[in-house]
Amino acid sequence: MLRTARNLGLGLILGISAAQAETVTIAALGDSLTQGYGLVQEDGFVPQLEAWLRARGADVTVINAGVSGDTTAGGLSRVAWTLTPEVDAMVVALGGNDLLRGIDPATSRANLDGILQAGDEAGVDMLLVGMEAPLNYGADFKDQFDGMYGELAEAYSIPLYPTFFDGLLAEGDINAARAAYMQADGIHPNADGVARIVEAMGPAILALIE
């Protein structure tokens, strides 16, 4: 009887330990910034993020669900099959291509809303990554575009990371940062730029999975 109790207790302890050690799977849903455009695979956002998290003791797998050129509409069209049963959390980083195409912020907002609703229904933890519009489209466009991220994060009670490029904006001199950390197109970060972006965003993702 005593042996049975011991075995049962050991089994429970081992079971709890196994559950605690279970790998957390994060889906990074985004565009070329997430996909790693112009970089060798290991220098892209997802591999660098995964390495950063693991270096800090997190047992994680980060799925690269970034598609170059994707808009919020593209993200909405594929979020359902991105959220496979093993996915525990999702980082949503979309909107840059909506900006480049001058898509109505109301349309972008509706698409992001649909993505977050899908994540909410799937029961995954989420982090929404913002993007800031330039003034080229006017102050009203910028207010609507920039503001939609905070509004949606509040509506779904999820954390908001202010902007994908926050790690580069912290440099102060944006022109110097662009010269040092962006590829020749001025849109996509180089490997060092990605490292700075990951260093800045990493704690928010670590907090999400903890």
- Which DSSP state fits 51? H
**Catalytic residue check, 17:** no
**Residue 176 placed within a domain:** yes
**The one catalytic residue among 70, 143, 185, 192:** 185
Range of the domain at 154: 23-209
**Residue 136 placed within a domain:** yes
Q: Provide the residue count of the chain.
A: 210
Query: What is the torsion angle, in degrees rounded to the nearest 10, for the CA atoms of residue 104, residue 110, residue 113 and residue 119?
Result: -110
Position 21 scores a pLDDT of: 55
**Residue 2 placed within a domain:** no
User: Whose CA is closest to 52, among 204, 199, 181, 193?
Assistant: 199
**Residue 29 placed within a domain:** yes
pLDDT tens profile 142-193? 999 999 999 999 999 999 999 999 999 876 677 788 889 999 998 999 999 9
**Catalytic residue check, 125:** no
Each residue's pLDDT expressed in tens, for the chain with a length of 210 residues: 433 343 444 444 444 343 445 899 999 999 999 999 999 999 999 999 999 999 999 999 999 999 999 999 999 999 999 999 999 999 999 999 999 999 999 999 999 999 999 999 999 999 999 999 999 999 999 999 999 999 999 999 999 999 999 999 876 677 788 889 999 998 999 999 999 999 999 999 999 998
Degrees to nearest 5, angle at CA 174 with 197 and 198: 5
**The one catalytic residue among 70, 88, 108, 188:** 188
CATH of the domain at 174: 3.40.50.1110
**Residue 15 placed within a domain:** no
Three-class HEC string of 74-124: HHHHHHHHHCCCCCCEEEEECCHHHHHHCCCHHHHHHHHHHHHHHHHHHCC
**Distance of alpha carbon 147 from alpha carbon 142, whole angstroms:** 8
Bridge partners of 189? Answer: 182
Domain count along the chain: 1
**Residue 8 placed within a domain:** no
**Residue 1 placed within a domain:** no
**The one catalytic residue among 31, 32, 88, 98:** 32
Radius of gyration of the CA atoms of the chain, in A: 19
**Catalytic residue check, 188:** yes
**Residue 7 placed within a domain:** no
